[in-house]
């Protein structure tokens, strides 16, 4: 179902979005060499409880997962990119960490993801992360009334093509609002001028994610964590965006998004 939100409802989503942005900034601050993923998850869980918010991941049991998911954040390392199940892993120098968080505040949801490098960053990892960030900004730029969902997909795919990265189309962006996943689906590759026409009040979670050398994915034995099929490193960037009469409104924008390297 596709539901258009009123300006007041979008503002309520913005409240959730500001909290998600704050929590992901905190993850970026804490993600350091020697930090365990389970400690990061516990910290975010505490933030959610103190805020009186609800995790959209806890008890999440879609058809593709081995549910229910019993964590409040997805943490994916190196060749893992989506639905990373937090586990007993201590971050190492040079690790690439993707964090994906969706929460509900007073019945309205926001969803966002970011990727950082822990410690010493390899240029090829920074390049991959930049590609996802630039693809996200390109999609946001065309998230305007009268354009189509295909324009968003084409914008993301064009950035991936320019960087030389393949694009997986099994998982992509989606509508969002009262629940984490609503219509429409937003592929990370597509043809401009196709698909649903964007209208004011439509809220979307746009989320380009790329692996360096493959568009194929595999699942871990945990039934959740998705990795690049060839073991190449990955990156993931996501924002919740509302279509308005004027410019796109990014509901999960962090205060600073300039740095993708966590150096301790």
* Residues placed in the known binding site for substrate: 83, 181
Contact 106, 12 (CB under 8 A): yes
Q: How many alpha carbons lie under 13 Å from residue 242 in its C-beta half-sphere?
A: 27
Q: What share of the chain is helix, strand, coil (3-state, %, to 5)?
A: 30, 25, 45
Instruction: Look up residue 92 and give its two tokens.
Output: 């190492």
CA dist 243 and 252 (Å) reads: 14
Give the residue numbers of the binding site.
Answer: 83, 100, 111, 174, 181, 207, 238
**37-51 and 7-30 helices, crossing angle to 10°:** 150
Give the residue numbers of the binding site for a divalent metal cation.
Answer: 100, 111, 174, 207, 238
> 3-class DSSP state for residue 137?
helix
Q: Single out the residue of 248, 253, 136 nearest to residue 200, CA to CA.
A: 248
CA dist 185 and 120 (Å) reads: 36
């Amino acid at each position: 179902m596709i539901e258009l939100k009123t300006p007041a409802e979008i503002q309520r989503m913005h409240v959730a979005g500001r909290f998600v942005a704050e929590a992901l900034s905190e993850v970026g601050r804490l993600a350091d060499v020697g930090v365990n993923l389970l400690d990061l998850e516990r910290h975010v869980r505490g933030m959610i409880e103190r805020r009186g918010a609800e995790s959209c991941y806890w008890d999440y049991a879609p058809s593709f997962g081995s549910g229910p998911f019993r964590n409040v954040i997805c943490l994916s390392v190196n060749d893992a990119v989506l639905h990373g199940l937090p586990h007993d892993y201590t971050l190492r120098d040079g690790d690439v960490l993707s964090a994906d968080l969706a929460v509900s505040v007073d019945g309205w949801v926001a969803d966002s993801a970011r990727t950082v490098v822990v410690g010493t960053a390899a240029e090829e990892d920074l390049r991959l992360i930049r590609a996802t960030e630039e693809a996200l900004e390109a999609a946001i730029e065309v998230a305007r009334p009268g354009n189509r969902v295909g324009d968003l997909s084409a914008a993301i795919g064009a950035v991936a093509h320019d960087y030389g990265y393949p694009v997986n189309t099994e998982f992509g962006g989606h509508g969002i609002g009262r629940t984490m996943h609503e219509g429409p689906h937003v592929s990370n590759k597509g043809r401009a001028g196709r698909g649903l026409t964007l209208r004011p009040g439509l809220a979307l979670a746009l989320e380009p994610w790329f692996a360096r050398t493959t568009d194929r994915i595999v699942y871990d034995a945990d039934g959740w964590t998705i990795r690049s099929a060839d073991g190449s490193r990955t990156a993931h960037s996501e924002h919740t965006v509302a279509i308005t009469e004027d410019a796109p409104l990014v509901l999960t924008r962090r205060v600073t998004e300039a740095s993708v390297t966590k150096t301790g």
